[in-house]
């Protein structure tokens, strides 16, 4: 019994110590810190963790840092920078719902823009006051799109190529209203072959090419990180060796460890060089 009590005290001490360290690190950001916000759901969190084997107890990390924040800690030490990156689920499961597709960003940031939250989710008017860079992405069901040119509606949550383009055009115009904030959009995560038809996959590839060649323009404050290319390597589906399982479209830890540094390199290059020294995937030219 004494041994169990001692073990419990040790674990509590570790958790308290880690909590204090994390809070101290967060509070030590200087006035000149470059604050970066990464909005995501599960796929984004996999990349955030990378290949880290750290575990969690009630949200407190035990062990090594996750790959993305660890990369920035080392970069700041080496380069003397103060890039502070945080992550956040967006939108939350409640009350808005676990949906982060083009319609949902449009709905929260464009249709319901303003100085007040929409269904407890922050608008760009709010976020841009705190962050110099905002990064956002979609869950892999975004790739399950269809084409419906007869029923195009910017206010529809139906996943169609035509609706996506309208919603993205509106999002772009909204982001251009905040020239002092840089935005990075991940090209869409894609599903494994078991969960996606070839028609859906072809439309996803077409939409991604549209993002690269038409939607993404030079000399503005909006950039891409080409996650789709990293997942597919020019093919149509999430490559089997990069998936958690043949029927699970989450990327695995091996893939996450491979691409997390590329994500970080792309972020830093956008900050320092407007993205000119890396490819869309984050590889230095």
Residue 107 makes CB contacts below 8 A (sequence gap 6+) with 118, 157
pLDDT value at position 9?
Answer: 40
DSSP assignment letter at 251: E
For residue 77, being part of any structural domain is answered with yes
Residue 126 CA to residue 92 CA, distance in Å, equals 16
278 located within any domain:
no
Helix (H, G, I), strand (E, B) or coil at 248: strand
Within-domain flag for 101: yes
Residue 107 placed within a domain = yes
Flag whether 25 is in a domain: no
Q: What are phi and psi of 135, to 5 degrees?
A: -115, 135
pLDDT score of 12 = 45
**How many structural domains is the chain composed of?**
1
pLDDT of residue 19: 39
Residue 117 placed within a domain: yes
Residue 95 lies in a domain: yes
Residue numbers of the domain that contains 166: 31-273
pLDDT tens for each residue of 137-182: 999 999 999 999 999 999 999 999 999 999 999 999 999 999 999 9
pLDDT at 61: 67
Report if residue 1 sits inside a domain. Answer: no
In this prediction, residue 32 carries a pLDDT of 82
Q: What is the CATH number of the domain that holds 179?
A: 3.40.50.1110
DSSP state of 212: I
Q: Divide the 285 residues of the chain into consecutive groups of 10 and give the mean pLDDT of each group.
A: 42 40 44 93 96 74 82 97 98 97 98 98 98 98 97 98 98 98 98 97 98 98 98 98 97 97 98 98 96
Q: What is the pLDDT of residue 56?
A: 72
* pLDDT value of residue 22: 40
């Amino acid at each position: 019994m004494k041994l169990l009590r001692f073990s419990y005290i040790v674990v509590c001490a570790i958790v308290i110590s880690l909590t204090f360290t994390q809070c101290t690190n967060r509070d030590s950001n200087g006035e000149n810190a470059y604050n970066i916000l990464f909005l995501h759901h599960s796929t984004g969190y996999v990349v955030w963790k990378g290949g880290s084997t750290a575990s969690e107890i009630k949200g407190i990390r035990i062990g090594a840092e996750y790959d993305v924040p660890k990369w920035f800690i080392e970069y700041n030490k080496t380069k003397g920078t103060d890039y502070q990156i945080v992550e956040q689920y967006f939108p939350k499961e409640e009350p808005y719902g676990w949906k982060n597709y083009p319609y949902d960003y449009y709905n929260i940031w464009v249709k319901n823009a303003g100085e007040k939250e929409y269904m407890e989710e922050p608008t760009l008017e709010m976020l841009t006051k705190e962050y110099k860079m905002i990064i956002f992405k979609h869950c892999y069901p975004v790739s399950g799109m269809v084409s419906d040119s007869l029923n195009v509606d910017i206010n529809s949550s139906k996943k169609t190529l035509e609706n996506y383009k309208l919603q993205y055009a509106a999002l772009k115009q909204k982001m251009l209203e905040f020239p002092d904030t840089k935005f990075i959009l991940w090209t869409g995560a894609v599903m494994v072959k078991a969960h996606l038809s070839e028609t859906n996959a072809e439309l996803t590839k077409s939409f991604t090419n549209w993002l690269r060649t038409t939607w993404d323009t030079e000399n503005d404050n909006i950039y891409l990180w080409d996650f789709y290319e990293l997942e597919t390597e020019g093919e149509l589906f999430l490559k089997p060796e990069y998936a958690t399982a043949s029927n699970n479209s989450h990327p695995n830890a091996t893939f996450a460890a491979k691409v997390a540094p590329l994500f970080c390199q792309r972020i830093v290059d956008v900050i320092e060089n407007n993205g000119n020294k890396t490819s869309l995937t984050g590889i230095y030219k």
